[in-house]
Amino acid sequence: MSKIEQVLHSGNSHATINPYPNVQPGELGALDLKLSASGGESREFIATGLHPRAEQLFSGAWSACYISAFGIAASMKKVTLPRDYSLDIQVSIGSVGAGHCLGAQFTIRAHVAVTPRDSLFAHR
């Protein structure tokens, strides 16, 4: 497995579960996309708004997929996940020798009191 030698671009995302399923996205900030230009500096685009970069799209899509997958796996195992669990993903595009590489770092956060029944699932 290759390791990125120099990060060229990076995108971060933070995904949580909407505790109010009857609320449409956007009403409580359920979808809050904040975009930036390469290098973190703010750029002004004439006649257009900021568009997401590839690494921002990757991290956002992966966050949504993985947080949903955890919920499905938990329901199949009849385990209730805490309402405050979240998933952070950082996706980086960088150079490796003469080529380029895509790397990702996943962080799952939850304040959980694990019961003995749920401990097997928690360790998976």
3-class state of residue 70 by DSSP: helix
Is the pLDDT score of 41 beyond 60?
no
Is pLDDT at 102 greater than 60 in this prediction?
yes
Q: Which of 54, 56, 48, 55 is nearest to 32 (CA)?
A: 56
Mean pLDDT on 61-75 = 82
**Predicted confidence (pLDDT) at residue 40 exceeds the cutoff of 60:** no
- Which tokens hold the place of 86? 């979240």
Residue 124: the pLDDT is 57
Please state the rounded mean pLDDT for residues 116-123.
58
Q: What is the pTM of this model?
A: 0.57
Please report, for the chain, the start and end positions of each structural domain, with discontinuous segments joined by +: 6-18+53-123
Do 53 and 40 meet the contact criterion of CB atoms below 8 Å apart?
no
pLDDT at 14 over 60: yes
pLDDT tens track for 72-92: 888 898 888 777 778 888 888
pLDDT averaged over the chain? 70
